[in-house]
Amino acid sequence: MKNLISLILCMFLGLTLSYSQLNLKKIKNSLIKKKTTNTSKTNSSPTTSSNNGREWYVSKTTGSGQLGTKEKPAKDLGNIIHHLKPNDIIYIAEGTYMSKGKRGSDEINVPVQIYGGYDTSFTTRDPWGEHKTIFTGVNEYMKLTAPRLYIRTDQLRGKNGKKFKGGLIIVDGIIVDNGPRNRYHHDKGLAIRRQASPKSGQNPSPESGGIVIVGSKFTNIGVQNCVVMNTAPTEGAISIRVFQGGKGVLQNNFCINNTGYGLQVRTGYMGSDAKLIPKFHIKNNTVLFTWKHDAVASYGGDGLALDKNLTATVENNVFGFGHMGGIYSKGADLVLNNNLFTGNAKYDYKEINNKMRVADILDESETLNPNSTGNESLLIKIPVGERWAKIYANREEISRADVDAAVSVSNSGANQLRSMLGLNQRGSTVKMDAEIFLPLLKIEEALPAGQLPWNKKGCQAPKYK
């Protein structure tokens, strides 16, 4: 079985599919609009914003200071966050970014648009190829363990003191790699550790997502053309929370080798007005190798998780090799079309507590739109790097049942006293950490698996004329 898995992981796929980018002019009104060609506005340098915000430019290679202009870009997004105002647009050139002071996390509290993947002249884009914009950090004791990119506007207040409403948040063309931020057992890159080691000056692996966005009321949120890998959250590697009257789009993203959920869509509205319930469109994403929270956890490990009080259309995605499943819905009003499920350990679709494989979804679901169609299960070939594929294929899984069965209770004086007092007795300690858990995956090993779709499903490398 291990040889079969290793073979599957090491082979290259050969399918192609044209992909339509979001129309940036119409996105402010609808958020779910697309062009009919495989282009964006970025063949030339970005134009002046017409939404009352200013434009900022960031370049690791040529940047210096905080002017943030095209002629004098800033060196890191973290250096200019305190200058940002609502509706600003940030363009980020190729390079590896660690935030201000290498703290490894950027938190923004106003609605902004962020576009990565430019060359240093800001004239061409290739986010997954020649001009990668990589957000990462370092593992040093007392560095931040917050989400690598965290945009939160739900507490933003205007000049009148009232909470801010409306706006548009977009993140496009960013690669988040938390590998350098994680702490690995014996620094071998095979298994993460969630506790710090002050003695060796190491932080815990950040228990947070790569891109986390919480909007205000009536705020639209879009994340597209992004890659998130090696993150170890309880939540989503990409997580967006939309409040009343807002829309969310997750399109053409690639999540690989993360704990928790690959994608997570959440609601901030608890009312019943159908016009105000958050609406999501989740399309052409690929989510692979989503791990449980830890080696013996019974939670996490799903490609996509959805809250209850929201509506979502989920189509043309790939959800593969979840340590639990493909999709976990807590009761969302859901349309599920033309998605591919493969290699998920426990189920392909879980609705509250009901677990189903693809063939049973339409028969057994209670909240899924009955017009959902085209979902399938296929054996696919994933061109992830051979080195990592062999490590993954040779891992040994630890179950909670095995751990509990290995615990023995001694007849010590302490346990005798606890028994007389009606307290639970203490068992022996049992090794609970796997030797291989969320092993370090390199960017060059991961990206080939997200370049092309399978049967017109999943993400592909964004292309620009």
- The three-point CA angle 82-86-92 to 5° equals 65
C-alpha gyration radius of the chain: 23
Structure tokens at 225: 């053309």
Rounded to an integer, what distance in angstroms lies between the CA atom of residue 374 and that of residue 2? 30
Q: Cα-Cα-Cα-Cα dihedral of 306, 310, 313, 316, to 10°?
A: -20
Distance of CA 93 to the CA centre of its chain: 21
pLDDT at 413: 55
Kindly list the distances between the CA atom of residue 427 and the CA atoms of 43, 141, 297, 418, in Å, as whole numbers in the listed order.
64, 32, 19, 12
pLDDT at 295: 87
What contacts 158, CB < 8 A, 6 or more positions away?
Answer: 164
Q: Which residue has 């307290």 as its token pair?
A: 423
End-to-end CA distance of the chain: 44
Name the phi and psi angles at 341, rounded to 5: -120, 135
Least confident of 39-43, 69-73, 301-305, 461-465: 39-43
Residue 264 has pLDDT above 70, yes or no: yes
Rounded to an integer, what distance in angstroms lies between the CA atom of residue 282 and that of residue 279? 10
- The three-point CA angle 358-253-42 to 5° equals 145
**SS3 of 420, please?**
helix
Reported as a pLDDT band with limits 50, 70 and 90, residue 377 is very high
* 60-111: pLDDT as tens digits: 999 999 999 999 999 999 999 999 999 999 999 999 999 999 999 999 999 9
Rounded to an integer, what distance in angstroms lies between the CA atom of residue 237 and that of residue 234? 9
* 399-447: pLDDT as tens digits: 545 544 444 445 555 555 455 545 565 554 444 457 999 999 999 999 9
